[in-house]
Copies of this chain bind each other. A is one copy, B any other.
Amino acid sequence: MSIPPLPDGLEDNDLTRAANALHSASIHVLRRARAADRESGLTPERLSLLSVLVYAGARTIGALAAIEGVSAPAISRIVTALEAGGLARRGRTKDAREVTVIATARGRRLVEEGRRRRLMLIARELERFTRSDIQKIRAVAEMLERRDGV
């Protein structure tokens, strides 16, 4: 896997080269991870929404739409599918216009297994590096996540 050249119009410096390499590396990391998701038997959209429910807790349809960056009708339909599969349930709040969604135990288990598979796949790839390089990778990744939301 080699890194593509910087496109024309971008200054060539550490910053742009870091962005370029980080871009490529991220694509490759997630390509592998996504392969693990197919074993869940869920479509990517359903698994993604269910993951939000598991890690963020019960949320209204509108909140889920904002988080996923899609429309409320799109969420509503996916929730219906998750409910049919016994992976999530609809609930109500004081405001009777709102509909909350929460993952079932089975939904939670499915998401956790998927996350474990993803991380195991990535970890297996990292095994090729030395302990010292793995520490560097960890330090940089944690730094990226610590500072802001890059």
Contact = CB atoms under 8 A, between A and B. Distances in A.
A141 B22 contact: yes
A28 B136 contact: no
Interface residues of A, number: 61
Nearest to A120: B10
B145 A3 contact: yes
A119 to B, nearest CB: 5
B7 A116 contact: yes
B126 A28 contact: no
Copies of the chain in the assembly: 2
> By DSSP majority rule, is chain A's interface helix, strand, loop, or mixed?
helix
Interface in A98-137: 112, 115-116, 118-120, 122-123, 125-129, 131, 133-137
A17 B136 CA distance: 11
Interface of A: 1-4, 6-10, 14-30, 32-33, 55, 112, 115-116, 118-120, 122-123, 125-129, 131, 133-150
9 contacts: A1-B149, A10-B119, A14-B134, A18-B123, A18-B134, A21-B144, A23-B118, A125-B149, A140-B141
